[in-house]
Structure 1
């Protein structure tokens, strides 16, 4: 890989991407001095840009007009840095599922640059429970058994057609690294397409960064793995807490269906997902493990993808010899199933009511603040 390029990191979801984004952001100046730019427009710009590319603002509770042009702005900074002889890194895990037409639209502003595409991949055993948990945090009320029945055991193969994408079960569309790299790297020489293999459990802190930096190029390697050994960004929810979160979603849905109050998408993601689930419920404890009975299925799929990867000519960063770190990590026979009852004494309906009350309070505070600002403006005093 050359020392000058634009690297587009396209995910995949739940493969250490939040950790990598934090390393890039928290060491932005050190990396810049080494010739690697991680463009910064504002906090969350890479996420918003990826959502813009995917046209999925509604899913994430964003205003599409507020994020319009964000991807173009990031690409403009990357192009300018590239033209000065540096390497730029941009992207977000939301990009992984992009359709071919979305990929073409995303890469168009980078025409003329030496573009490299990087995907991170983790074993399907850990991915199954991580994907399930993330979907529940985003508002789904599925049990793990639901996921197994409707997605894990229901794949019909990759979609066909010039703009296929997303019609197979979401888990497989989101986690198929061969499919993602084929869509994103189809127009690139294979040596510009990179698979970064997430380390197996127990790997030294910073090992994922070492592998990712190897894909980005020499400048990124100036940041040593020990300097990139940040604590986990997204601690797992214990199974009982996942169950409680599901029940709260159901309680909110029942209230809305009966003509009561409802949380809009943006408010629900802020209050339920970010402020409660990710800050309070994620307090540690044993995480759910994919049942051992799924091991044969996940192993068969993994071996097929590994065979395709070896034949592709793509660069692999990690366990190059046999991609052993992608072997599915599943539970032992007799381990607790991921579907557990909520914590004793929990009251999902009371929690739903509390979230609605909190939303009312915040809406009232916002209204009062707006009225105060308008009053100050009328008096010619400007914002406080």
Structure 2
């Protein structure tokens, strides 16, 4: 009888697969009918499992007890739901940066399964911009130009460089996971189409559809029958160049008074513009002088994929970045655009603060009401106890 098979989408972060957990959850019933199980329940369950495995819950705004046991629970549910010959699929971009020991721990929990790893990859320019933007959402203040220079320093000693390459070095990430699998034919590499290709522009929704179709080919389901029309193909709101310029200034004023995980959540929920609003030339681009260096890097990546024998989906040429038709430097955003962005953000935050105050007042009234009830019940209980208890014993009769 065929072994149970599990497909793990490990990232890379920002390469174009962030929507996959939501898409899989949305189509869970249809996938189950096709023999593909999606065992996740809560929307952030796989993220919490990945955070547990990588031991960095504080960075993501979780307490230890919120993540402990998540991976074991997922594996248990997967084993219970999945019959022999069926497949399970889980995905979380944060897994890309797992080190050798963490990968071994993860795979140990999957003993008895045939494990396949799916990596969605993209050109290094878009990965650099996306990773820098994520640092700004988490409270950083360094400019795109300075941050990129530190990351691309050949020594790779700066903290920004270490953090970036752990999750975004295509060769390093894929070789770590492939070595643990010991089977190159179980490493599936999906190349996302370039979204900024001037010669053949690809919308971000079309890009997501391409990644979704390739995932269907990897796992064996008909992606065309499971459309993404009701799925947010860019989860976690994204800031455009103006929004990032404004947020850098806000971060300087906040000056570390908010934990990175908590700030990232607030920014995503209340400050960032949705993908439909942050598109086209509004998004930041890297300086043109970096193009040659990144092109050489991308060509090395493409050769590494070809030489390793991993299964490739998409066009490896899309790993090579193209020069943008228009350079957009977040540091050059004018005061008028910044003012408009700040005005919109303050209006949104005012609405949200008002909503939270109303909610807090309602909770306070409910708490006060429950406290009054508790006091009454406590008084009645004390009275009933006093009425039902025997009085103090009198002196014994001496006869």
Distance in 2 between the 1:366 and 1:57 partners? Answer: 31
Where 2:7 maps in the other structure, the secondary structure is: strand
1:19 matched residue in structure 2: 19
Question: Structure 1 residue 210 and structure 2 residue 213: aligned?
Answer: yes
1:105 matched residue in structure 2: 105
Question: Structure 1 residue 345 and structure 2 residue 343: aligned?
Answer: no
Shift of 1:95: 0.7
Contact preservation (8 Å) 2:21, 2:90: no
Shift of 1:11: 0.6
Distance in 1 between the 2:358 and 2:260 partners? Answer: 15
Where 1:228 maps in the other structure, the secondary structure is: coil
Contact preservation (8 Å) 1:76, 1:109: no
Relative to the length of structure 2, the TM-score reads 0.78
Greater shift, 198-207 or 113-122, is seen at: 198-207
2:271 matched residue in structure 1: 276
Shift of 1:358: 4.4
Shift of 1:242: 0.6
1:162 matched residue in structure 2: none
Shift of 1:374: 5.3
1:301 matched residue in structure 2: 297
1:185 matched residue in structure 2: 178
Greater shift, 128-137 or 228-237, is seen at: 228-237
Where 1:118 maps in the other structure, the secondary structure is: strand
Question: Structure 1 residue 90 and structure 2 residue 90: aligned?
Answer: yes
Contact preservation (8 Å) 2:3, 2:84: no
Distance in 2 between the 1:372 and 1:95 partners? Answer: 45
Distance in 1 between the 2:275 and 2:91 partners? Answer: 28
Shift of 1:47: 1.1
Distance in 1 between the 2:369 and 2:46 partners? Answer: 31
> Which deviations, in whole Å up to 9, do the C-alpha atoms of 1:351-377 show, x marking residues without a partner?
6xx79x949959965973783485277
Let me know the Cα RMSD of the aligned residues. 3.3
**Structure 1 segments unaligned to the other structure (5+ residues):** 160-165, 257-261
Greater shift, 291-300 or 277-286, is seen at: 277-286
**Structure 2 segments unaligned to the other structure (5+ residues):** 196-200, 378-399
> Which deviations, in whole Å up to 9, do the C-alpha atoms of 1:14-69 show, x marking residues without a partner?
01222222211111111111011111232211111111111111001111112211
Relative to the length of structure 1, the TM-score reads 0.81
Contact preservation (8 Å) 2:37, 2:89: yes
The 5 Å alignment of 1:1-384 reads: 4-151=4-151, 153-156=152-155, 168-188=161-181, 189-201=183-195, 202-203=201-202, 204=206, 206-216=209-219, 218=220, 221-224=221-224, 227-228=227-228, 230=231, 232-234=233-235, 236-253=238-255, 262-265=257-260, 267-278=262-273, 283-284=278-279, 286-319=282-315, 323-332=316-325, 335-341=327-333, 343-345=337-339, 358=353, 361=357, 368=364, 371-372=367-368, 375=371, 378=374
Contact preservation (8 Å) 1:50, 1:92: yes
Greater helix proportion: 2
> Which deviations, in whole Å up to 9, do the C-alpha atoms of 1:128-176 show, x marking residues without a partner?
211211221122112111212211x31336x9xxxxxx89532222211
- CA change 1:169–1:272 in 2 (3 A) is same
Where 2:85 maps in the other structure, the secondary structure is: coil
- CA change 1:129–1:377 in 2 (3 A) is farther
Where 2:147 maps in the other structure, the secondary structure is: helix
Number of equivalent positions: 355
Where 1:339 maps in the other structure, the secondary structure is: helix
Shift of 1:299: 1.0
Contact preservation (8 Å) 1:97, 1:174: yes
Where 1:89 maps in the other structure, the secondary structure is: strand
Contact preservation (8 Å) 2:238, 2:272: no
Distance in 2 between the 1:125 and 1:17 partners? Answer: 16
Based on CA coordinates, which of the two structures has the bigger radius of gyration?
2
Contact preservation (8 Å) 2:7, 2:89: yes
Where 2:120 maps in the other structure, the secondary structure is: strand
